[in-house]
Amino acid sequence: MEASGAHPAVFAPVSTEGRVDAVVRRLTDAIALGLLADGEQLPSESELAGLLGVSTVTLREALVALRQRGLLVTRRGRGGGSFVRAPAEPEIGERLRAFAADELRDLGDHYTAIAGAAAMLAARRALPADVEPLWRSLREMADTDSPARLRRLDGRFHVEVAAASQSARLTREEIRLQADIGPLLWLPYDEPGGHDEATAQHRAIAAAIADGDPGRARELAERHVLDAIERLIELRLRLVGP
């Protein structure tokens, strides 16, 4: 599998506090979003520890925790190492029930700010090589009708927009938000005609970034998130009530 444009953010140094937990969270989020693909081999322990800015002891503790969660498998011997094991798809309806409508709106406000800033900076800073992952994700979305794969590709697209902003902090925040609510945001688009509408919005965002139009890119990204949040709140109220 071709590396995602978000890989540098996945393997960037973690925060100095609670480093084992930070490594576990970073890699768990990346696996959940498909940024680290099922079966993908992680860098060696020494290389990965260096990339994440942690000691090998800290890294090994984190890898043990990930293996216990069933997200990694370690193979010994020649050709061995740590390999990603993608989790089973969560029951999206149950995840939606865990959020109150006001929580979704609050998350949406925060996510709108992040997505808008990332798209604006991507339009200012991205080179053609930074934009190509966006088009690749859109091509892959057009070639599948699997709801689970569409959700993962939607998340990957938004992380790649953040990666194109050249801001490691924005990209890490986008990864965190996608892991929290990303799969839910695609849920309303599973309704008839939703896929085409979402694809049109994605293409417009990518085109604004490619054209170097920061204001348009920000406006489109913010509108896309706000529209998804409003639809999601309506869906939640319809499914589970206030």
Per residue in 31-74, pLDDT (tens digit) is: 877 788 889 999 999 999 999 999 999 999 999 999 998 999 98
Q: In the listed set 38, 62, 84, which residue is the last one of a domain according to the structure?
A: 84
The set of residues, in sequence order, having a beta carbon less than 8 Å from that of 133 and lying 6+ positions away, is 4, 5, 160, 163, 164
**Are the C-beta atoms of residues 56 and 45 closer than 8 Å to each other?**
yes
Same domain, 118 and 208: yes
Same domain, 102 and 73: no
Task: Note whether residue 189 is domain-resident.
Answer: yes
**Are the C-beta atoms of residues 104 and 228 closer than 8 Å to each other?**
no
Q: In the listed set 52, 84, 116, which residue is the last one of a domain according to the structure?
A: 84
CA distances from 90 to 15, 58, 231 (A): 28, 29, 20
Give the alpha-carbon dihedral of 194, 196, 199, 203, to 10 degrees. Answer: -140
Q: Whole-prediction pTM value?
A: 0.76
Q: In the listed set 84, 112, 147, which residue is the last one of a domain according to the structure?
A: 84
> Which CATH number does the domain housing residue 137 bear?
1.20.120.530
Same domain, 232 and 149: yes
Rounded to whole angstroms, how far apart are CA atoms 82 and 60?
Answer: 11
Among 117, 115, 136, smallest CA distance to 225 is for: 115
**Are the C-beta atoms of residues 133 and 5 closer than 8 Å to each other?**
yes
Task: Note whether residue 46 is domain-resident.
Answer: yes
Same domain, 218 and 162: yes
Could you read off the pLDDT of 118-165 as tens digits, one per residue?
999 999 999 999 999 999 999 999 898 887 788 888 889 999 999 999
Which pLDDT belongs to residue 1?
44
Task: Provide the number of structural domains found in the chain.
Answer: 2
Q: What residues make up the domain containing 70?
A: 7-84
